[in-house]
Structure 1
């Protein structure tokens, strides 16, 4: 184990280089307690679990008798175990749970999923309940949802969703409602809500215009804030926008979230802002030729603040505290496990004019978000 100190806040500055090559995606549990990634490189890859909810973060390596393949995908659970998905024999995928035991690593085999008719299998983001884990087998005409951890008898088929699906965003705190981006035939991509307690019943979630591609990137169940990517304002050109779950107001596409020479992708939303979507902090990954760094923005503001990140930032990973501090994980040879605390500069937000918020005058005539039609439970009243 390696104990790691929490660094002080990183202030404004230029971009730094992204995490070293060979480091896998860094996935954090919904409650922010644990994270996992595929560490190492070459022929010495292994699963690594991070503990984030203590006074100091620390990492625990979980190696087995042989190194992991580069395509191994780890997913942390709220009890500290790590689900591992491995691809074997082409279309067959095996699942197991890793956990530290004494000086070694324990492994509990869960079973396998055979997906001969699927294009690929992807692990969905950690379930809000922290116990269950899901995978999506994506086919050209049908996508199948599997419960791969947390069931009674190994992997269980949960639902089949018509169409080619991607994405995966949880809409509530119980793990019942899941949003997927679905394409039917040659039609546009539209986000839909899938009710896992009703056999995978599908209802529309985003319908900005008839022909626009409307994808859901992030959702915050506390505030109802949604982060959306759509080409509705400019057909053929995606824009980043925001809306409110259950609202009749149009999706807004702030100009400050559009950079000509960089890609902007949201990766974390401040929790605990009940029914206050405009006040939620949003963390955005900014990728350009010089590297990757962070943007911080709130819907109530016209500005996106761009800030430097610590060396070795595991690009695209981070979590907000309810108090508004953004914590970014990083790993360097000298500090193999660290969290940097990033705070917003003390500057009052500037209200955004209505015209700028909608992005285009012609767009606001559309009825953009039939979100209130999604059968969500335990949500606040529509705003």
Structure 2
């Protein structure tokens, strides 16, 4: 089994100036984690990230009860299908899906108004975010269980988190009839302050607790950039035996190295805790084969069918080959394209799972499909 992949860079001048190098935050953030820091931790205004040198550091620690991963989450989630399409805010184009798709997803960015704004070529926090509380009342969500993927640009995530009490975020979300919500997708970025990574792991767990306290089942969102962080997650799952699912947002992991790191992290966790299942948001289908014997623990949350259809692109499944292409298509409505694209993507996933399971069966490795 492939073990966890770490990014190795020579320590920089910023490594020794990071407060984690002194052991100040051990055992939660180890001194050696500072060796990956490649940029200054000086950030007095907490722009995009809270570092070890933040003047408000203690307030951020108090908010999440320190860096220890001692947050208890008890949500039990019903058995989830292996393929879950992700809808968006353009509900007028969204069709009613068959019972083959009992669970659908929505992303945070689609249930928020004014959460972010474009300015000078980049994203910034919106001034007064508001929740589209009636979005899920659209007929396309009828008789569907809905998962909220609390993922999106850092500027959106930070904005909603900081203003969550003022905008009554959890109170309003709890009335929207969700099956579950994933923990906030706080970023872990290679090269940034090692303390910020430990803090963001804890903040994501804190968001799960706040979902639970609001009556919403929580699915932890997992990121790890080194073996210490991965071990902490394994220990946390062992201490929270009710948790069966976790999520990873892969939409920004485009390079081969980044995808390899996601696969290695999943192999690391599931190899030690085979009771767990992972929901991958935006994972490339061509890499599903890399999961081998773990394929039945993999679930796909997929927004690409809707996005392609909104761009008038059709997923084409070639008979007998199970290969697909996105082609320009103008003679079908957006709703018809969405139905086609979702059906084809599910067929592709079923085909990949069947291929892997057939190999497992022939080699005597097949376990009960869950």
So what's the TM-score if we normalise by structure 1?
A: 0.31
Q: Which has a greater percent of strand?
A: 1
* Greater helix fraction, Structure 1 or Structure 2: 2
